[in-house]
Each structure stands twice: as C-alpha cells, then as structure tokens.
Amino acid sequence: QVQLVQSGAEVKKPGASVRVSCKASGYTLTTYSMHWVRQAPGQGLEWMGIINPTDGSTSYAQRFQGRVTMTRDTSTSTVYMDLSSLRSEDTAVYYCARDFAVRGVRNYFDYWGQGTLVTVSS
C-alpha cells in the first residue's frame, strides 16, 4: 500500500533553515510528482510547490520563491523540502502530498504524509 512517511518534528530559531523528508513506499517514486502543503496551527492549507522526481524539476509558489528548495533521492525514494530564513510565521505542519496523476500532473493530492510540525521560536 502507498505510504508517505515524513521526518520528525523540528524546533528552529528565527533565521535558521529546516529540512523535512518524505519517504515513499508502495509505488515507484518517479511515477508521480510530489507536492508540499503546509498548515499553520488552527489555520487552513497552503500549497508550497511541486517536484517531479523523474528529473528533479520544480515549481514553487511565488511567496516561497528564494526560500524553498525541493529535491529528491531516487535511490532511497525520498523527497526533501528545505525552507530557509525561518520566521515565526513559518510555524506549521508541513505535509508532502502525492499528485493524483500517473506520469502527469493534475495538482490535487491523493496520498498525504503524516505531517511534520516545524516550530520557529527564539
């Protein structure tokens, strides 16, 4: 069965960077694109960007451009999301979410990781 297992919670100081990982199992990583979505405490959902694990190409939401980097390691079926210059407003649960389409992109999400809480606090 498809599973996306994310790394554990992180506590970071303002200005620092964080890396969240998402390990896929139950399917071939390169068959589906992967998105990252975040959710601030008690708030709604916010799309951050997408990575195509086949070639590593990415597309980021404009508000995260310059601060976010998404990469992948096909040998371990893992995708990564790095977010830099953290501020308190970045405190949120970060989810990886698989795109619905096989070898394509539909931009909605059929499988989700369990979420990783990133807390930014001095």
- Which x/- pattern over 46-85 shows residues binding another protein (rule: CB under 8 A)? xx-----------x-xxx----------------------
Q: Where are the alpha helices (DSSP H) in 2-108?
A: none
How does DSSP assign 70-117, residue by residue?
EEEETTTTEEEEEE-S--GGG-EEEEEEEESSTTS--S-EEEE---EE
Should residue 112 be labelled a site residue for another protein when binding is judged by CB under 8 A?
yes
Should residue 9 be labelled a site residue for another protein when binding is judged by CB under 8 A?
no
Interface with another protein (CB under 8 A), residue from 33, 90, 115, 118: 115
Q: Which residues on neighbouring strands pair with residue 73, listed in sequence order?
A: 78
User: Which of 10-18, 19-27, 44-52, 66-74 is the region at the interface with another protein (rule: CB under 8 A)?
Assistant: 44-52
From CA 36, how far away is CA 14, in angstroms rounded? 21
Given the complex with another protein, which of 1 and 75 has the nearer CB atom? 1
Residues of the shown chain interacting with another protein in the complex, contacts defined by CB under 8 A: 44-47, 59, 61-63, 95, 97, 100, 106-110, 112-115
